[in-house]
Each structure stands twice: as structure tokens, then as C-alpha cells.
Chain A
Amino acid sequence: MALQDVCKWQAPDTQELSPHLSQAGGWAVPRGCDPPTFLQTQGPRLAHGTTTLAFRFRHGVIAAADTRSSCSNYVACPASRKVIPVHQHLLGTTSGTSADCTTWYRVLQRELRLRALREGQLPSVASAAKLLSAMMSRYRGLDLCVATALCGWDRSGPALFYVYSDGTRLQGDIFSVGSGSPYAYGVLDRGYRYDMTTQEAYALARCAVAHATHRDAYSGGSVDLFHVRESGWEYVSRNDAWVLYSELQKLPELEEQEEKEASQVHPEPATPAQSW
């Protein structure tokens, strides 16, 4: 840029990728062993995330996640936050290694802010996704694990992108990410319509995550729910997953009970002469 050239100042992000991440310059790697194998066999067990989902519909994008953070078979944290705000109109659901997700999201926040200042407007969700996947694809093969769905509202309306740390970047209407995703997909695919109301969307997201936490060992805790509208993102609720699932189980019984009561109050028409 012109001003940069006049001042002979090098913008930090045009240098080595994210220099602030490594003070010594260059990542420390163990000798004699490639990093993924080393980390798998000898490294410490890291905190992993689990069931997250996001879908876009007429009134915005819904992002929901469980809150269990596990290290092998130990629940390191039952109340972690897996949906990270990037800016007012962009959220990311995170799954994979927690440290990777939080660090790369911090880098993404910084990059988007710099671009917004330089260009005068925030980049679109598509370009934010491209930025994230390009940054991470340079570390491909090194056992980074970030599986995330970027949910936002930009000039093209509600937008949803799935980004994985090997560089995958996909646009779609529904994504569920993590070990509990197959269970969530089953519920989501059944109940999804683009023209849902907001309350229906909230109910669908909660239902899907609750079912996933019921069946997946690595998902549990509570269910966080976020909604990205035209005016920005909003933290809707945090509900305990077990309580939610029990309420869902009670729903058929409640319906049956209501039907029974309805049929008692208005009995089948018998002979007209019958009286109470």
C-alpha cells in the first residue's frame, strides 16, 4: 500500500505467518520423530471438543454446541465454551483440539480487524473462511485439529462455512461437527426447513445436541445456543443437556395425555338419549 511504501514499514502479516505465536521464530519440533507420531505416542493428552452444529435459515444462522471438554476418558471441563465470537456478525463453532481452536480464532479475529481497518468494511464470511483455511493449510500434516463452522451475516445474508485444519472449506446450509455429529445429523436432517420460525429453529438445535449428548460419550454437560441475526449475534441460552433430554422424552407422554383428556371431555357421540 502507498503509505506503507512511503514510510518503508513492513506490515507484520506480510512476514512469516503469525510471528507473534513463536517468539524464537520457527516452531520447536522434537528431533528424530515426526511431530504427529510424537504427539500421539509421547505427548500429553490434549483437551478435545465434541458436538457442535450450525444451520442457516431465513432468519439467520443458528449455532449450538455441547460444553464437555475431554482428555482421553477424563472430562477436563464440563462447562467449556465452544462457540467463539469473532466479531459482531460472525461466530465460530469449534471442535477438535481446544488450544488450536482458541489460538487460531484469536489470529482470525486479529486478521479480520486489520482488514476491516484497511479496507473500510468487514470481510465477508466467505473470505473469513478462506483466510482461516489458508492459514491452517500451511500446517497440514502437523497434527493440528480444528474443525469449525463459521456462522455469520454479511452482505449476502446469512452465511455458513465449514473449515477444517487440512484446508477444507465448504459452504452449506447444515453442518454438524465433532464426535457426536452423526447423531445430531439424524435429528437435524429430519426437522430442517429453510422457512422455519426462530422458535422452531431453537427447538431443533437444542433437540439435535441433546440427542447427540445422550448417545455420544464425549459430548455432554450443557447445550449452548447462539443466533446470528442481521443485527449481530445473540447468546440465546444454556440448558443442561440431561434436563433437556428428559423433557424431550416427556413430550410424547404429554401429547398422549392431552389426547386422552381431549377425548374424555368430548366423548364420541353416542345415542342422543344418553345423559350424564
Chain B
Amino acid sequence: MSSCAAVSWGPSRNPVMEPHSAGPVQLRFSPYAFNGGTILAIAGEDFSIVASDTRLSEGFSIHSRDSPKCYKLTDKTVIGCSGFHGDCLTLTKIIEARLKMYKHSNNKAMTTGAIAAMLSTILYSRRFFPYYVYNIIGGLDEEGKGAVYSFDPVGSYQRDSFKAGGSASAMLQPLLDNQEGLRPPGAAPCPLAAAGLLSRTEPGSRASLSFRFPPPSPLFRLSDPSAFLRMKDPTARVNFS
């Protein structure tokens, strides 16, 4: 996300790549690695969309082209996790175990809001050695309305209408603010921009449009990439078809 933090990540820091770095450099073991990835979620009137790219990288290497970052939790909730892949896997395992425990004790599935609150306490329990994961939960609340909850790595969270997280979040969030945040009330929603946006920011990786409630019929693709450049009026709607 921010280039200043890239220097101290991972044991893959290679002095050969930086022959002219100024001054002595301390190399130490880092328990984290940054595996990249971007996630986003949008809440609609009676639906939610959670989307992610599928690239798993480390430094300049790509580990996988097919590693989606959305995980289904219940019939009504999906979580997107990006950051350090090891922590993403462990965190989702813990969440799934807690969901099962809740289901067995309470005889019902956890609601989206309850999962968000639980995730906040799970993340905070590691306040001094955090899970290096940026989470966004998308789903339906008890009234059937779309709900999106975004988290920071130690559990601070709140409910939003839309949120982007991960390495390209600084690129996606302003476009979401412009398209979704400034949309006049009553205008037709443009939710599948999510897939189009992601296919632009990570060229070569597929955008996996995951878990739209209810399921979509045609799969939308961004057909005209130069549409972005031609946009002069910042409030104009761009039609993705």
C-alpha cells in the first residue's frame, strides 16, 4: 500500500538489488511477508458484492495467479482478506471454527453484524503481534439490506456503504468515493464496476467477482479500457458493459 513500508518486509530483502543503499543496513527476520492483493466490497439496497483479485505475490515474484481472497463464511456473509497470506489462512480458520461453535451452541448461524463484532475481538486479542490482514466483510444484515464492514489490522471497524482494502486500495477507494459516494439518491446502482476496476489495476490477473447476493446472470467485463481516460466530468457515470 505505501512504498515506505516495503523496505522492511519479509526475509526476501536482497542487498544485490539495492547496491547503492545509503549507510549500514540492519537485516532482521520479519515474521511477516507481504503477499499483495486487493479486495473491495459494496453494499446495495438488498445485495452486497465482495470482489478480489487473484494474484499472490512476494516482492517481484508471483506465487500464484489463482489465489482468490474472498472466503465464504455463511450463506449471508463473505469476507475478503488481503495482506500476509499466512495470517489470512489462519484467521479464516479461526473464524470458521468460531462460527461452528456458535452454530452448535445457539442453533443458528451468526449474523453479519455479529461476525464483524467477533472478528474485531479476535483481531484485538493479537494487539501486540497483529494479524497482518486487511479485512472487509460483505453480506446481508438481519433486515436483508446490504452490509459492509471494514477493519484495520487490530480490530477497529465500522459499517460502510463501500470500501476497498489491500495494495490497490488507494487507487480504488477514490473511484468508489466518486462513483458510489457522490451518486444522487435514486439513481441506478453501478455495482459491477467492481470487476472492471480490479481488472484494470492488476493487469494479467483475473478479477474474481465473488458471491453476489442474489447471483448475477451475465458476467460483466470492462470492454473499453480507455473509458477511464476519456472521463472529463468527474460526476459522469461510466457504463461498463
- Within A1-57, the residues touching B (CB, 8 Å) are 20-24, 27-30, 32, 35, 38-39, 41-47
**In the complex the two chains form, what is the Cα distance from A159 to B189 in whole Å?**
48
A44 touches B132 (CB 8 A): yes
Interface secondary structure of B, over-half rule: loop
Most buried by A among B2, B83, B121, B128: B128
- List of 7 A-B pairs having minimum Cβ-Cβ separation, nearest first: A98-B156, A99-B156, A44-B153, A99-B154, A35-B128, A47-B152, A99-B155
A21 touches B124 (CB 8 A): yes
Task: State whether the Cβ of A72 lies closer than 8 Å to any Cβ in chain B.
Answer: yes
Given known A-B contacts A46-B152, A46-B156, A47-B152, A99 and B129 have beta carbons under 8 A apart: no
A97 neighbours in B (Cβ, 8 Å): 154, 156
- Least Cβ–Cβ distance between A30 and chain B, in angstroms: 5
Residues of B within 8 A of A (CB): 1-2, 4-5, 8-9, 29-32, 83, 120-121, 123-130, 132, 134, 150, 152-156, 158, 160, 169-170
**In the complex the two chains form, what is the Cα distance from A43 to B1 in whole Å?**
13
Given known A-B contacts A27-B128, A30-B31, A41 and B8 have beta carbons under 8 A apart: yes
A74 touches B128 (CB 8 A): no
User: How many Cβ-Cβ contacts under 8 Å join chain A to chain B?
Assistant: 94
Chain A: residues with Cβ within 8 Å of the partner, total of: 39
**In the complex the two chains form, what is the Cα distance from A169 to B132 in whole Å?**
33
B129 touches A30 (CB 8 A): yes
**In the complex the two chains form, what is the Cα distance from A41 to B129 in whole Å?**
12
B83 touches A44 (CB 8 A): yes
Partner of A28, one of B32, B126, B134, B152: B126
A47 neighbours in B (Cβ, 8 Å): 152, 156
Q: Across the two chains, which residue of chain B brings its CB closest to A27? A: B128
- Within A43-77, the residues touching B (CB, 8 Å) are 43-47, 69, 71-74, 76-77
B154 neighbours in A (Cβ, 8 Å): 44, 46, 97, 99-100
- Least Cβ–Cβ distance between B86 and chain A, in angstroms: 14
- Least Cβ–Cβ distance between B6 and chain A, in angstroms: 12
A41 neighbours in B (Cβ, 8 Å): 8
**In the complex the two chains form, what is the Cα distance from A251 to B233 in whole Å?**
33
A137 neighbours in B (Cβ, 8 Å): none
- Least Cβ–Cβ distance between B29 and chain A, in angstroms: 8
B31 neighbours in A (Cβ, 8 Å): 30, 42
Given known A-B contacts A30-B129, A81-B158, A76 and B124 have beta carbons under 8 A apart: no
Given known A-B contacts A42-B31, A45-B2, A81-B158, A99 and B126 have beta carbons under 8 A apart: no
Other 20 A-B pairs with CB < 8 A, given A71-B152, A77-B150, A98-B156: A20-B121, A22-B125, A23-B125, A27-B126, A28-B128, A29-B128, A30-B128, A35-B128, A41-B8, A44-B152, A44-B154, A46-B156, A47-B152, A47-B156, A74-B2, A97-B154, A99-B127, A99-B156, A102-B155, A103-B124
